[in-house]
Chain A
Amino acid sequence: QKEVEQNSGPLSVPEGAIASLNCTYSDRVSQSFFWYRQYSGKSPELIMSIYSNGDKEDGRFTAQLNKASQYVSLLIRDSQPSDSATYLCAVKKRDNYGQNFVFGPGTRLSVLP
C-alpha cells in the first residue's frame, strides 16, 4: 500500500461546476495535510493546509479532513479553466529521523470551458 494515494485522473469538470479531489493516507499518526497545485512545467504551489478534522474554507477552495477514515479531500467551487492543473496531496509525517512530507502521485484536473 502506498503511503499517500490519489486518483491519477484526468478528472474533467465543466466550468462553474464543483471539482472534488480525494486523497487517502496510510500512516495513522500523520498530523498535517496539504494540497498543492502544479501547473505543467512549474513547481508545486501551496493552496491549502489542514490539521484538524472537519472543513477548512479559503475562497473557492475547501479542504476536508477525516482522520478516522484517513481521508482528506479538496473541493473547488465554481471551477475555472485556470484551475486546470495537477493537484498534489501531501502528508507531513514524523519518523525517528527528522520529518518529511510524503506526496501522492497527483490528480490531473481539466476544467472545460
Chain B
Amino acid sequence: ETGVTQSPTHLIKTRGQQVTLRCSSQSGHNTVSWYQQALGQGPQFIFQYYREEENGRGNFPPRFSGLQFPNYSSELNVNALELDDSALYLCASNLKRERSYNEQFFGPGTRLTVL
C-alpha cells in the first residue's frame, strides 16, 4: 500500500464527453504527478502539481488540465474525449524537498475507456 488512492477504478465515456479523475496523495506529500499509460507502453507524463500550482507539463494538449488542493487531493480533467484517450491514468505523489531523491509512489490507477 502506497497511501495513494484514486477514483473511480474504471470509467466508460463516449467521444466528446468530459471526465474528472481524482487522486488522494500520501499524507504529507506536496507534489502530485499524473501519467497516462496506454496498453503495452510505459507511463507518459501529463503534468505535475506542487503546492497547488502546475510545476511541469508533458506533451499533452490543453484539454488535459488539473488541480491540486490543500488537503493533498488532486484532479485530472479531460475535455472533448477522444478514442485515443483510452488508457490507464496514474497518479503519483512524492515529497519534494531539498536533497531528496523524490521517490514517487503510484495509486492503483483509473482505467478509462472512450467509446
A contact residues vs B (CB 8 Å cutoff): 4, 32, 34, 36, 42-46, 49, 51, 88, 90, 92, 95, 97-106
Closest A residue to B101 by beta carbon equals A32
Task: Note all chain B residues with C-beta closer than 8 A to A97.
Answer: 55-57
Interchain CB contact under 8 A, B102 and A99: yes
Query: Besides A46-B105, A103-B45, 4 other CB < 8 A contacts?
Result: A43-B90, A44-B90, A92-B102, A99-B56
CB distance from B74 to the nearest CB of A (A): 15
Closest A residue to B43 by beta carbon equals A103
Can you list 29 A-B pairs with a CB-CB distance of less than 8 A? A32-B102, A34-B103, A36-B106, A43-B88, A43-B107, A43-B108, A44-B90, A44-B106, A45-B106, A46-B103, A46-B104, A46-B106, A51-B101, A90-B104, A92-B102, A97-B56, A97-B57, A99-B55, A99-B56, A99-B102, A100-B33, A100-B45, A100-B56, A101-B104, A102-B45, A103-B42, A105-B40, A105-B42, A106-B41
B contact residues vs A (CB 8 Å cutoff): 2, 33, 35, 40-45, 48, 50, 54-58, 88, 90, 92, 96, 101-109
Closest A residue to B44 by beta carbon equals A103
Alpha-carbon distance A95/B45, docked complex (angstroms):
13
Closest A residue to B110 by beta carbon equals A43
CB distance from B58 to the nearest CB of A (A): 7
Closest B residue to A97 by beta carbon equals B56
CB distance from B101 to the nearest CB of A (A): 5
Task: Note all chain A residues with C-beta closer than 8 A to B96.
Answer: 99
Closest A residue to B55 by beta carbon equals A98
Interchain CB contact under 8 A, B56 and A106: no
Closest B residue to A106 by beta carbon equals B42
Task: Note all chain A residues with C-beta closer than 8 A to B50.
Answer: 98
Interface centre among A36, A92, A100, A104 (most CB of B within 10 A): A100
